[in-house]
Amino acid sequence: MKYVNSGYGKIPLLSLIAILSISLTVNLPGLAISPIMGKLNQVFSHVTELEIQLLTVLPNLVTIPFILCSGKICTPKNQIFILGIGLGLYTLTGVLYFFADSMVELILLSCLLGVGCGLVIPLAASLISQYFVGKARTKQLGMKSSLSNFTVIFATLFVGWMAAINWHLAFIVYMVPIIPLALIPFMTDSYIRKNSINVQAPPYKPLEEPAPSDEEKQVRTTAKKPVSPNFHFSGKRVLGLLFGIMGVYFIMTYGTEVVSYYLPFSMEHYKLSTGDVGVATAMFFTAATVSGFLLTKIIQKLKQRTVQISIALCIAGLLIVGLLHYYWSFILGVFVMGFGYGVVQPVIYDKTSYIAPTAAKSTAYFSYLLTCNYIGISIVPFIVGGAKRLFDAGSDPNFSFIFNACVLAVVLGIAIWKRRSFVFEADDTFANSKPATVASKNVETASKQ
């Protein structure tokens, strides 16, 4: 049996593959519809454009409450059961899409898809948080981000090919959950614990954080940030850190998601083809995939400047797209933007893992964080539309990119000002943190209870 380093010791490689396979599913809702919108408009000629757009919007909207639901109901004892239910619903929806022949059926299935995906999404990151620590966790969260973005690239191309044969075949992408569903036995806590070796401190599993010792109380009072994995602030202070991380994730998602909404209109305005738009859009996810694979090396190189430089890259990408209107400039701008976002995203995941005191809290914290992500995606047209009316920008195809660059410039200023705070720090100490002795004792005590 092959093993990988988890920071606590070594766990089976098969368990890592099983946990990472969940990431293949998290970005798929609504994806199959986008490339075949024109095709569906021909097939269902009697329905309105709004009804067809609902097939893209509804999965993301329905996903939000069920992300929160997953975070609320998941515990270390039932999280794999919840994961199985979510993946099962997800797969069932993919099968039922093949038999849907009316718009009402497609809309109802889109809602069911959102339910299944919402239950799964927090666990994709939470399970990594529970079984990995320090540099190993940072690396695997980067892999998670890369795989989810790579799936978007592959699925978009696949949907286009399948739709040319039959529009029903486009929904084959919603069968991807079969992969993690089949691998569930290898990501259970019992399998991982039984087959792990050289474990220094077991993955934390207490439902409640054990009472701190006098030494811990002293450190918690004087420390400026959490001193080690599984050894955290409590009460209002940890919530303050969580809200800060959530705020950064929300604004970064909002700032870069403008690509999905407005890039096609901008490129078409400058006489570029639909194929050119597809290539440029794919560059965003390609860049995010590359940066995720290189995450630990990037952090080791940039250290405390990681978050600030990543935000600056997003700003630069937005300005290139908004000010230069050539095919190569669109490609370059979107790639630069995607690279910056691809670094920030897993760093934010890592910070969320760092402050979660228990496995149950980890899932809950990720549910809050990922809700911000989906709200950020959904709110883009409303904020940009309101800003256009405020500044009387009309139908200017470049306004959305320049406006969002200005928004992120404000965030960059705050990130530079607060560069030594936990929320904006991503140095090699953070990436390479090791379990502390006190923390390990807590974990061992909790695991025996």
Got the DSSP string for 209-272?
PPPPPHHHHHHHHH-SS--BTTB---THHHHHHHHHHHHHHHHHHHHHHHHHHHHHHHHHHTT-
Q: Does 306 lie in the same domain as 158? A: no
Integer Cα distance of 142 and 125 in angstroms? 10
Q: Which two tokens stand for residue 407?
A: 């928004």
Q: Which of 137, 171, 203 is the last residue of a domain?
A: 203
Q: Does 325 lie in the same domain as 427? A: yes
Integer Cα distance of 30 and 39 in angstroms? 15
Q: Does 160 lie in the same domain as 16? A: yes
The structure tokens 């004892």 sit at 77
Beta bridge partners of 231: 228
Which pLDDT value is given to residue 53? Answer: 64
Q: Which two tokens stand for residue 230?
A: 């599984």
How far from 300 is each of 34, 331, 423, 440, CA to CA, in Å? Answer: 38, 28, 18, 26
Q: Does 415 lie in the same domain as 286? A: yes
Range of the domain at 135: 1-203
Q: Does 86 lie in the same domain as 229? A: no
Which pLDDT value is given to residue 196? Answer: 86
Q: Does 176 lie in the same domain as 28? A: yes
Cβ burial, residue 305 (10 Å; 0-12/13-18/19+): middle
Which pLDDT value is given to residue 200? Answer: 60
pTM: 0.79
Q: Does 385 lie in the same domain as 293? A: yes
Q: Does 216 lie in the same domain as 196? A: no
Q: Which of 186, 203, 220 is the last residue of a domain?
A: 203
Integer Cα distance of 131 and 445 in angstroms? 17
Q: Does 165 lie in the same domain as 103? A: yes
Integer Cα distance of 354 and 125 in angstroms? 12
CATH for 221: 1.20.1250.20
Q: Does 316 lie in the same domain as 425? A: yes
- Own/partner contacts of 405-410, CB < 8 Å, gap of 24 or more, are 405/315, 405/318, 405/319, 405/322, 407/251, 407/254, 407/255, 408/251, 408/252, 408/255, 408/311, 408/314, 408/315, 408/318, 409/315
Q: Does 250 lie in the same domain as 145? A: no
Which pLDDT value is given to residue 226? Answer: 46
Please count the structural domains in the chain: 2
- H helices present in 8-48, as ranges: 13-21, 37-43
Contact 228, 133 (CB under 8 A): no
Cβ burial, residue 274 (10 Å; 0-12/13-18/19+): exposed
Q: Does 190 lie in the same domain as 98? A: yes
**Average pLDDT, 10 consecutive residues per value, the chain (449 residues):** 88 94 87 66 72 74 91 88 95 91 87 92 91 88 90 80 81 92 94 81 42 51 45 66 94 91 85 80 89 90 92 97 95 96 93 80 89 87 90 89 97 94 69 37 35
Cα 446 versus chain centre, distance: 30
Q: Which of 180, 203, 226 is the last residue of a domain?
A: 203
Contact 445, 322 (CB under 8 A): no
